[in-house]
A = this chain, B = another copy of it.
Amino acid sequence: MRVFRFSLSVAALGLVVWLSACARGATGGAPAPGPARGQVVVSGGDTIVLIGPPTVVDTLPAVAPGRFDTGKMWTFENPPLDYFQQEYGFRPSAQWLERVRLAALRLPNCTASFVSPNGLVMSNHHCARESATAVSREGEDLLTNGFYAATQADERRVPDLYVDQLVVIRDVTAEVQAGIPATGPEEQQIAARDQKIEEVAERLSGETGLRCDVTSLYHGGKYSSYCYRRYDDVRLVFAPETQIGYFGGDYDNFTYPRYDLDVSFFRVYGPDGQSFQTQHYLTWSDSGAAEGSPVFVIGNPGSTSRLNTVAQLEYRRDHQYPSTIRLLESRAGVLDRYIARHPDQRSTYINDYFSYTNSLKAYTGELKGLRTPELMARKVAFEKAFQAAVRSDSALRRQYGSLWDEIARLRRQIADVAPRVNALNQGGSLRSQTLATALGVLQYAQAATSGMVPDSVLEAFRAELLATEINRELDAMILAAQIEDAVQLLGPDDPFVRDALQGRGVEAAATSIVNPSVLPDSARRAALLANPADLATTPDPAIRLMRSTLPRLRAAFQEFQRLTDAEEVRTSRLARALFDVYGAHIPPDATFTLRIADGVVKGYQYNGTIAPVFTTFYGLYDRHFSHAGRPDWALPDRWRQPPAGFNLATPLNFVTTNDIIGGNSGSPVINAAGQLVGLIFDGNIESLPGDFIYTTETNRAIAVHSAGILEALRHVYGATRIVTELEATRR
């Protein structure tokens, strides 16, 4: 503890005080409380105050639009070579770019990369969870206990797993845009676009023999076709124990400083059953990246909203997130009370509970960003600059000038209808499964008689309805919370609210709906599905309630859909305006397609101090012992006593300013020499507003350090074979 009050000059002010004291005839003061060290108390009851207009204090500097407010997720078709040259003195060659593009891979939900000429692939442990479970044999639990194939023959093929390599990129903007009618109803425009996209993708797939998608960049400002080579013999080579691969669990997720060996290895095999040989792989760096050095993340960021208008962000800030958070808090509270009442069922429900609290963490982090005046001011400044550019050109002004106002108007309308959608909507673990099933059963019956729904879809739907398990007690608690929501959202006189309550309190009403309903009973539910005609007349309270609600829900939803369609068209036009004004100087929003993001290795201000650039294995043990007894920080057996020779000072995780988001998990972090220095696995808590604005003050990507990976493979897992293979790639 240091004393922080500032002394004013004793020499100057002290005497002013003294003379004043003289003037009023006092010769002494009350015995001063012993001032803490360095503190000068200059007058009896107050310290001299320093006053002026309020100033916002924050680590964020200006509110001028930042050059990179929309981020740095550059496409490979438009890498900003001049900017790289100017910023880092490094101009990637075409070969450099091709090599890293072809070394990078896409997993179904993650990124990965080739790290050896023999098809060795690296990604995150959390991207290999399902694989570890899938290749576990009778009596094995490889997800929990980890897996290492001691020989290549021991590598296990993961059923249905594939990796995609981005081979061909084509600009198909003109073709797609030509297929969209310039006038006509909005939904027809959208449908025509979707159809055109499908056509182009199919045609290109046929021409190239690859798997081609068409991706809308800049919300339709540009369309690119990405064609992938798919490798579908992928075998698991190494995955650590979950306790070390997800060390700190949901608690430490989205946080830094961090101590997480979130790494896994796969190997791609060719059709001949031999390991796939490739020239396109990343070479290994033992030393990793130094503080301040430039690094590049090659990966597939999933989705961002950086081009959202201020009105759209205000909507999120003032409506969407507060309401989502309230819903999650309510349901987390319900689960918490239920688990307290039934401690024996803790294991059944605790994951749902953590899933709520983890979502709360994320939404709260984003909302905090939206409520940070400096961040919003930067968005406002960016929008003003963009509007000024549009309005200074008469053609652009005619075409795009009114879009901001139109979007703002639509968002106001959406704010009107959304509470109705949300209150009437039924579904997900956040809502009563009894009502959700009632809604499902009614819709199933309508779909079945419409003749418009394919049998396969109907069958899948029926199976899902049959498989739902409902815990009456918990479900009644959730329904009570849900009715309370409806009262708040729609008022006491809404027909749904009146039907649900029937003059009862929310808890009594919920019990009276859930308990007598046949739906929680799977046998009686199946009987009901078999006789859909009964649905129109059954007195089942849940079905009765949803019978009267479905038409209103559908109407509200269609209105909602109409408004969001109308907004989507305008959003696309605005994005095209952005593209017209800024071109590829601004990268498009993330679309789960390959991007290259530049950044530097850099700490940040955090928690009153500075977060270090990297953490070490010492910190892993600190967290373990300081959270003694908490399962999230337990260590696997083999880690409890680090083996002799294991250097705890080895870097484990590190932070960079690269622009990433969900989907980037498993992305390689490479230096200018093209060497792999790390493996992206998370962002810090300050990165959450990154969905709508990219900043470098405190937003950080978190990666596993290449030296930490090697140290653990060598000393803890004795994975000599892999260590040798990785080390052989060093140039």
Q: Which residues of B contact A187 (CB under 8 A)?
A: 24-26
Q: Within A1-44, which residues are at the interface with B (CB < 8 Å)?
A: 1-13, 15-20, 22-26, 28-31, 33-37, 39, 43-44
A251-B609, A488-B52 known; A683+B419 contact, CB < 8 A: no
Q: CA of A610 to CA of B447 in the docked complex: distance in angstroms?
A: 48
Q: Which residues of B contact A195 (CB under 8 A)?
A: 28
Q: Which residues of B contact A271 (CB under 8 A)?
A: none
**Copies in the assembly, this chain:** 2
Q: CA of A554 to CA of B12 in the docked complex: distance in angstroms?
A: 11
A136 proximal to B (CB < 8 A): no
Contact B608 A255 (CB under 8 A): yes
Interface residues on A, range: 35 or more
Chain B residue, CB-CB nearest to A361: B608
Q: Within A407-432, which residues are at the interface with B (CB < 8 Å)?
A: 414-415, 418-419, 421-422, 425-428, 430-431
Chain B residue, CB-CB nearest to A368: B57
Stretch of A325-333, A383-391, A527-535, A720-728 lying at the B interface: A325-333
Contact A461 B126 (CB under 8 A): no
Q: Among B25, B197, B319, which residue has its beta carbon within 8 angstroms of that of A51?
A: B319
Q: Within A48-65, which residues are at the interface with B (CB < 8 Å)?
A: 48-55, 57
Contact A443 B621 (CB under 8 A): no
Q: Which residues of B contact A461 (CB under 8 A)?
A: 11, 15
A2-B253, A609-B252 known; A34+B592 contact, CB < 8 A: yes
Q: Within A107-131, which residues are at the interface with B (CB < 8 Å)?
A: 108-110, 126
Q: CA of A51 to CA of B424 in the docked complex: distance in angstroms?
A: 12
A612 proximal to B (CB < 8 A): yes
Q: Within A698-723, which residues are at the interface with B (CB < 8 Å)?
A: none
Q: Which residues of B contact A685 (CB under 8 A)?
A: 607-608
Q: CA of A22 to CA of B443 in the docked complex: distance in angstroms?
A: 14
Contact A302 B191 (CB under 8 A): no
Contact A19 B554 (CB under 8 A): yes
A52-B326, A197-B30 known; A662+B3 contact, CB < 8 A: yes
CB A725 to nearest CB in B, in angstroms, measures 27
A85 proximal to B (CB < 8 A): no
Contact B591 A33 (CB under 8 A): yes
Q: Among B1, B12, B213, B325, which residue has its beta carbon within 8 angstroms of that of A682?
A: B1
Q: Which residues of B contact A415 (CB under 8 A)?
A: 51
CB A329 to nearest CB in B, in angstroms, measures 8
Q: Which residues of B contact A71 (CB under 8 A)?
A: none
Q: Which residues of B contact A428 (CB under 8 A)?
A: 6-9, 13
CB A562 to nearest CB in B, in angstroms, measures 9
Contact A609 B248 (CB under 8 A): yes
Contacts A6-B430, A57-B322 aside, 18 further interface pairs with beta carbons under 8 A come to: A1-B665, A1-B681, A4-B362, A6-B359, A13-B428, A16-B553, A31-B201, A31-B213, A45-B568, A50-B320, A51-B320, A52-B326, A252-B609, A255-B609, A257-B626, A606-B607, A616-B622, A618-B625
- The contact sample of 8 A-B pairs, CB cut-off 8 A, is A1-B126, A8-B430, A10-B464, A11-B440, A20-B558, A48-B421, A255-B609, A619-B623
Closest 10 pairs (CB-CB, A-B): A9-B427, A619-B622, A608-B685, A4-B362, A612-B626, A52-B323, A51-B418, A12-B427, A45-B568, A618-B622
